[in-house]
Structure 1
């Protein structure tokens, strides 16, 4: 997300940046707080941290629920996944764009909203975060094989494959709407994406584990050496996210002038006018 998941917050004067560029800061004191001077290394570190805490918290809720007699409950796990994604979007979205997901990174690159040259590094950072989080959980808890916290198809692999495509489609459709369209309320992007994750886990969790993210499935698989049905989670989410972004782009276009469109692009801006 070159514009970031919080891109609408930081856009000023409706200036659209070229691919891969960063806005210039007019205030010297904002040097380390804005995207203008954030180095690639800082972005990658933010992706590692964000992915780490998403996997650690989300998969951790699964581990605790299995080891402690269902104390978290399935609805609780759904809420945890949604909340941690929302929290990390608001925490580091202004630094790295808050991808945390190779499928999202690839999709944004395909639709020219992220530079291709950074894609391999972002994916490597996301995988590193997932592996570190999975390793941390494995060290903290004595997890038997039956309590595996990764994703395995509950039934037919093709059923799970279809489910991953559908829920990943919805996720990327929402991301495209709230994070890349100036007409959306950018300040609420984290809430919208987090709620989508929660709903997807609620529906798809019992079928496929509701990965929506190759890194989420690959990390636990590598740490615990469980590779059953892993192809479902490597290929399903990217297919879904690409299709979701494509469909949103079909309805994105409008004949309204830019000045009229951007009047409602910011929730905070509209409140301040009232």
Structure 2
């Protein structure tokens, strides 16, 4: 999947004492950022479909609670998904109520922290698999590399999707912001967390697998034009699926991790041997800096962003409008799979 010449240090003695300075610097920066933004609170996930003005685009909807005839008046009055007349609140008047309860507030600091941890796990897993594959003379195989990265994406989405939305990718963050599913004012913080997580993961791997690091860098095995086209297309595929499960309540929202992970795995099987199947600027940036290998890096910094913008726009264009009957029903009834 990841084709690159092994990276070797030119001066081993000199670098032994300086393997981790940048790693620790990035960790300190993240801690400072978290402390600075800890005071701002935003909703963790919308309980209704993401629309222009929605404060975020996480991969999971709000918490849901089903109540029977013993539903309390206070719960019904606080429910935002539909209005209930006073006479209907009397005991025994309601057969069954399904209501989406607004999720608790999550501070921006927690979101940024979750994004940092999730991106670190993804970059560490994807890059480490490529390095181990080279170190063991290809024992992992392309299928193993694809499965490793796909599983990492699935695990991170399932574990942090309800906190930060699990973007894990500057291209995803920018695409959501461009479609007004994510606030632009939070974009710099998310991208900073993603970049620092990539650097920390790359330099951690550099220290662990020294001096082998080149196999973790995504570089094209063919022409730059071919690599650009492939990265754009697979990024389009990824963002099309992400937009579907993150912004449309009729999609399989609760299976978002599986859907996105499977898409990543498919894309790696398609383009892994040709481009390394980055789909993510920080997947390439951190390992490239750690290995000092910047071949065709412009391809991996531009094509995924363009592809993500096109993918998000394409789904928004073909997304089916909700009919009037669906709009008249409670929100929970329209989003039973979320």
Q: Would you call these one fold, judging by a TM-score over 0.5?
A: yes
1:40-86: CA deviations, max 9, x gaps? 11111111100001011111111111101222221000000100000
Matched, 1:162 2:229: yes
Shift of 1:185: 1.9
1:180-225: CA deviations, max 9, x gaps? 1011121011100000000000101111111000010101111111
CA contact (8 A) 2:131 2:212 kept: no
Partner of 2:179: 111
What is the DSSP-based 3-state SS (H/G/I as helix, E as strand, rest coil) of the residue aligned with 2:112?
helix
Matched, 1:54 2:122: yes
**Cα distance between partner residues in 2 of 1:60 and 1:204:** 18
What is the DSSP-based 3-state SS (H/G/I as helix, E as strand, rest coil) of the residue aligned with 2:216?
coil
Say if 1:15 and 1:204 are closer, same or farther in 2 by CA, change over 3 A.
farther
**Cα distance between partner residues in 2 of 1:114 and 1:15:** 21
List runs of 5+ in structure 2 lacking aligned partners: 1-54, 66-78, 83-99
Partner of 1:21: none
**Cα distance between partner residues in 2 of 1:60 and 1:69:** 14
More helix by share: 1
List runs of 5+ in structure 1 lacking aligned partners: 17-23, 27-33, 269-274
**Cα distance between partner residues in 1 of 2:155 and 2:322:** 35
Matched, 1:250 2:304: no
CA contact (8 A) 1:182 1:262 kept: no
Partner of 2:293: 226
Matched, 1:83 2:137: no
Partner of 1:195: 262
Matched, 1:37 2:91: no
Partner of 1:31: none
With normalisation by structure 1, the TM-score equals 0.85
Matched, 1:209 2:276: yes
Shift of 1:255: 5.0
Larger Rg: 2
**Cα distance between partner residues in 1 of 2:336 and 2:270:** 31
